[in-house]
Amino acid sequence: MENYFIKTFYRQLKFVILFAIVISGASSCRDLYPLDNTEPDFLGGSIYEYLNSNGHYKNYVRLINDLNYAEVLNKTGSKTLFASNDSAFTQFFKGNEWNVSSYEQLTLAQKKLLFNYSLINNAYTSDMYSNFNNGGILYEGTAMRRQTALQNIDSICFEKPEYIPDGPHWKYYKSRGMYMIKDQSIVSSVTNIPTVFITQSLIDKYGLTDEDFSVLTNGRKRSPGDIFVFDNKVIKQNIRCKNGYIHLLDKVLVPRVNMAEYINKNFDTKIFSKLLERFSLPKFDPTNTLLYKQLHTDFTDSIFSKTYYSSLGGESRKPTDGVSLTNVLPYNPGWNSYQSNSGLQSDMAAMFVPSDQAMTDYFNSGIGEILKSRFGTWENVPDEIILPFIKRHMRSSLIESVPSKFSKMVDGENYRLPVEKNHIEKSYMGVNGQVYVTNTIYPPVDYISVYSPVLMSSNSKIMNWAINISQVSVDNTPFAFYKLYLNSLVSKYSLFVPTDEYFSKYVDPIAYGQDVQGVLKFWFNPITSAVNATVYKYNKTGIIGDSVDVITSPSFLQNRLWSLLDSHIVIGDVEATGSNYAITKANDIIKISGSGNSLSVQGGEDMLNNTSAKTTKVFHQYNGTTYFIDKPIDPALRSVYKVLSNTPEFSMFSDLLKGVPQDYVSQIFAQQGVDYRVIFFNAFRYTIYVPSNDAITAAITTHRMKTWDEINSITDAVQKTAAIEKMVRLLKYHFQDNAVFSDQTISDRFQSSTIKTDTTTTYWKTAKTKYYKIGIVGDGNTLHLTADTRKGAPACVANVTTDNSLRNIIVKDYIFSALPSKYKNVDGTGNLAGTAFSTSTITSSASSVIHQIDNVLTIEQ
């Protein structure tokens, strides 16, 4: 590349001269190609000659001379120099970060920094700054960084003990200090430090605004066509010399640091820096150690590079055993040559760093108080909890993180990042990214959702483990469904969380349907960081026996804990519905009593046993409320079949349901779950209206319905089939979609489980092929029903009983992967050919509420 642009120019000029000679017919015996050995006068002198003769660059020339670089800049190479004149140096010496007030006070190291950082080892005119080649493809107008002649080895410093980060990796050096390079590249130990420039082409290409520019440069203004190196304006462009170009800056270009170093040294971001530094570590740098010893023969120590645990540009494995790490940053904030897929030139990173005041304010108020109450200080927050917080404030693209695009920013989990311009207190353009110091924080959704208290609490490890169980999508991307679900900010939730000490008695539905029943005690195993379940014998009187097994199967534990988790999630605010009942994600029906810290909740089994889960603590979060409770909510274990069979007041209706001929195509019950389930139920919630025995007797007496004996005695096959179908349709009409409770105030219509097959007009105007409807009016004390009878037929109405023992009865029909009898019992006994209990799976379920009514609901007379 050396002098390439000059030689190319010479050859083009030769062609022009030759062409002119031919055209003019001139002839001569002189050498036609004198430019091989002669330089054209218009190129002027070398870079050094220009600076030395100009008279306004005395300080800069002294840098060149002191560093023995005059010969290089006098006749070799293709260089680009961002120079500063003596006026700029005068201003520099009036105040700078090195506290030097004259040239004489500059150390040799500082001279190297000033000179090498202003030099690029290639020739670039102003219109070439923003173009770059990557993989043989020319990208125009998109470059914003180029590597300078300054190398990381030029800025080796001895880090005093008080500046060594905390953490196990640094402990050895905390008392003695160390020589350190603040940049560890994944490509090479010796790296050139980039500079950043903003051109009109870059602004046009990405649609950056003047406000964007002003914020990026801490208030500088620009005019069309201006070029800036960081916040240094190029006041004279393209001073052409025979070995390159000089661009004059309005200020002395002082080397910038990377984002991590700025955050670490900035007085206002100490708290965030300490959190970030947890993920840093020293790495012995043999290449730079050897090179430095060759340059400095009296140096006998070792040099280390500072790097970070990160998935891009840093370390992602333990240095001791090479095991992959999960708690890593998205990228290395100390990587000077940060680059994503588009390469170094076209973009860099950005970080929104809360000031210490913002960090303190958050910790002491609002949702942030959860952190404080749990951990006391920011320093005590564990890595796995602090990491989402840090990640939320790290951006992979500056181009997508300028003020004009704040409203469109989302984090790595696709949640909106609500940054506003008035949040920015100051900004710093580093060599690898922009640091915005903000007056507020942007907590990850993990901190503000109903999941947050689970994450933060020391005694919610079981539920936290269940929520974080990971799945794999179709494109092999891992994701934790329940974490994403509970972190959704477009929904409101009521999340009930039994704390760890209360997971001692989970009555397993499959074991409940076996000859030997069992309960599970879930517990968090700190050795494996997973949940286990100890199995105990149990009988239905509530007595817990000896332990018989410990289950560690991930699939079994996932199945049971997710089933339990579904039973503890309610979409919506359970305190704002005006109803005493709510429906969980598992379609379980639960009863709510009280409010706030006095709220208690009952599942179907709780209502049967007169137990309840009481609130121990309430957390009001952005997307709902989290209730810590003193026991799991026990859902119903009894099926529709079981309750109807075992309740004398329901006996006639139960017998009618069981009386459907076994060879008839449309059945009511099928063997499944704990015993039997309603065959036409889906994973939903239902209401079942059970006519009293007297009501059924009256309907039979008045010939509104037949008995099964009467139907079975019909000899004509067609008539008998029609009578069976009519009976089944009548029975199924008493099964209604959606759960309705006797204490509700309601006026609505719900569909039944019977489909209308003709075009006759009905009370509720149900169309053919649609489900007949049931009209419900609730006055807060009971429910009044109106059937969907044919037009002209007598109205058919019914009322729910006021006897509390015969209404609001909660039941649940389960579907298991196999009948309970197909598995061995929890203690290993039972079906010799059966598979182990730990292989059993709960598939789905349907919940119902049963009410007794005082009339049979007829639709077809």
Which tens digits make up the pLDDT trace of 556-568? 999 999 999 999 9
The pLDDT of residue 6? 40
Instruction: Please report the sign of the dihedral spanned by the C-alpha atoms of residue 176, residue 179, residue 182, residue 184.
Output: negative
The pTM of this model reads: 0.80
- What percent of the chain clears pLDDT 70, i.e. is strictly above it? 94
Query: What per-residue string of b and e applies to 575-603 under the rule 16 or more CB within 10 Å gives b?
Result: beeebebbbbbbbbbbbbeeeeeebbbbb
Supply the angle between the helices 86-94 and 58-66 in degrees, to the nearest 10: 80
Give the rounded distance of the alpha carbon of 657 from its chain centre. Answer: 50
Tokens matching residue 460: 């919610």
- Which stretches in the chain have pLDDT values below 70? 1-44, 184-190, 861
Other beta carbons less than 10 A from residue 390's beta carbon = 20
Contacts of 282 (CB under 8 A, 6+ apart): 169, 170, 173, 178, 180, 304, 305, 306, 307
The pLDDT of residue 377? 93
Nearest partner of 563 among 513, 617, 603, 515, judged by Cα: 603
Other beta carbons less than 10 A from residue 189's beta carbon = 20
Measured in degrees and rounded to the nearest 5, phi and psi for residue 544 equal: -100, 130
Tokens matching residue 247: 């661009």
C-alpha span between 424 and 609 (Å, rounded): 58
Supply the angle between the helices 47-54 and 58-66 in degrees, to the nearest 10: 130
CA dihedral 730, 733, 735, 741 (to 10 degrees): -120
DSSP conformation class of 100: -
C-alpha span between 512 and 515 (Å, rounded): 8
Contacts of 856 (CB under 8 A, 6+ apart): 691, 695, 696, 698, 699, 704, 705, 730, 798
> Would you list the DSSP string of 107-130?
-HHHHHHHHHHTEESS---GGGTT
Residue type, 223: S
Which tens digits make up the pLDDT trace of 264-293? 999 999 999 999 999 999 988 888 899 889
Which tens digits make up the pLDDT trace of 374-418? 899 999 999 989 999 999 999 999 999 999 999 999 998 889 999
The pLDDT of residue 185? 53
The pLDDT of residue 1? 40
Q: Could you tell me if 122 and 87 are in contact, meaning their C-beta atoms sit under 8 angstroms apart?
A: no
Nearest partner of 179 among 308, 335, 304, judged by Cα: 304
Residue type, 114: L
Element (H, E) at 231: none
C-alpha span between 431 and 450 (Å, rounded): 39
Coil, helix or strand at residue 785: strand
According to the 3-state scheme, what is the secondary structure of 352-418? EEECHHHHHHHHCCHHHHHHHHHHCCHHHCCHHHHHHHHHHCEECCCHHHCHHHHHHCECCCCCECC
3-state helix vs strand vs coil in the chain, percent to 5: 30, 25, 40
The pLDDT of residue 17? 37
C-alpha span between 388 and 658 (Å, rounded): 56
Tokens matching residue 258: 């990377």
Element (H, E) at 215: helix 210-216
